Structure 1
């Protein structure tokens, strides 16, 4: 079966590349530009060898988070993009199926663009680490550090984070598709109605009627989302301090996060995501 997703992904790149590049490159460049004017007091506890890999990871995660937030803000509106610019008839006339169009939009914005931003953040990790550590520990000690070993130490952390983006995207799909479906069917009122109305409904059920399962389900989803990129942050700090094999520890951490996909909670939330996806596709297929 032929797929048109690569072509549709190219469309997303051509249409949104400027915003994606700004979201990826502007924050680290601005940070480096403002760093000389910042003021740091005292020498922090811990060694250069522990801080250097963490700065790489923090840089990558920060840029990834910015790009992901931009995507989550944009995606509900993209459900009605082709209707708003009156190009829906053109896209429906092409061989591609409506489901492919919706899937490629979510794939590009919710995963590919943020992952690309994370790679950019990791690339900026070296100049950021040099600048920050030079101001914190002194330039002599910083330049004497074996940066090749730092990169080797940071690699398992970065790979764990990149693998975790897949898990994070899966756990975010219910939220993404519900908001996209609301926007597609209810237009501008969709997202506020879902967020405000859903929040009020959950609060009333919990506080007035003692129905706790909706709140518990949302709290559980929040926990799963927090576990996606790193399951045990305190354990990572202990591993860095004790000199454990980071590669093995990161594999164990990834396994614990991936194991949560085998839960009934994941099955239930995927059912919500599939329902939202079907609603978006149905609305698009109708040309509305």
Structure 2
């Protein structure tokens, strides 16, 4: 079966590349420019290599977080993009299926764009780390750092995080697709109705009727979501401080995160994602 998703991904890139590049590059470049003229104090210069490694990881996380927030803000509205600009008839006349269009939109904005932000942040994290160390201790401290070791230590942690972005997207899909479906069917009222109505419903069920299942499900979802990138943060800090085998830590932490996918909770949220996806596709096939 032929797929048109690569072509549709190219469409997303052509339409949104400027915004994606700004979201991915502006924060680390701004940090790189402001660090030399800012005031940096209290860094443990005796652990300069750890400071540089932390700068790389924090920069990657910040790049991912900024791009993900932008994507989450945009995605609900993109469900009605082709109806709003009246191009829906053109897109429906093409060989591609509506399901492919929706899937490509979610894939590009929900995973690939934030993933690019993480990669950009990681790459620019090295000069940011050097700038931070130079601002605190001068060029001598920067020259004393074994930058090859910084890169080798960062690789397993970054790999864990990059794989975790896919897990994060899987856990976010229920929220993304439900909000997209609400926006597609209810237009501008969809997102606030779902968010406010859902919060009120869960609160009333828990407070007035003692039904805590929806609240417990949301709490468990939030825990799984927060553990997508790093399941055990304290163990990572301990491994970094002790200079332990980070590849071993990565395998253990990733196995723990993957185990959450083999659960009834994940199956339930996947069913909700499928329902939201079907609702968006059905609305699109009707031509808005």
Give 1:143-182 correspondences, 5 Å limit: 143-182=143-182
TM-score (norm 2): 0.98
CA shift in 2, pair 1:131/1:213, >3 Å:
same
The alignment's C-alpha RMSD in Å is: 1.1
TM-score (norm 1): 0.98
Q: Which moved more, 1:65-74 or 1:44-53?
A: 44-53
CA deviation vs aligned residue, 1:186-232 (integer Å, no higher than 9, x gap)? 00000000001111111111111111011111111100000000001
Distance 2:8 2:18 in 1: 17
Residue 67 of structure 2 aligns with which residue? Answer: 67
Q: Is the 8 A contact 1:79 1:183 kept in 2?
A: yes
Q: CA shift at 1:167, angstroms? A: 0.5
Q: CA shift at 1:134, angstroms? A: 2.0
Aligned: 1:227 with 2:215: no
Q: CA shift at 1:24, angstroms? A: 0.7
Residue 188 of structure 1 aligns with which residue? Answer: 188
SS of the residue 1:39 aligns to: coil
Q: CA shift at 1:46, angstroms? A: 6.6
Distance 1:252 1:91 in 2: 45
Give 1:1-288 correspondences, 5 Å limit: 1-44=1-44, 47-288=47-288
SS of the residue 1:47 aligns to: helix
Distance 2:243 2:40 in 1: 28
CA shift in 2, pair 1:174/1:46, >3 Å:
farther
Q: Where in structure 2 are there 5+ consecutive unaligned residues?
A: none
Structure 1 stretches of 4+ moved >6 Å: none
Q: Is the 8 A contact 1:44 1:136 kept in 2?
A: no
Q: Is the 8 A contact 1:231 1:253 kept in 2?
A: yes
Q: CA shift at 1:121, angstroms? A: 0.6
Q: Where in structure 1 are there 5+ consecutive unaligned residues?
A: none
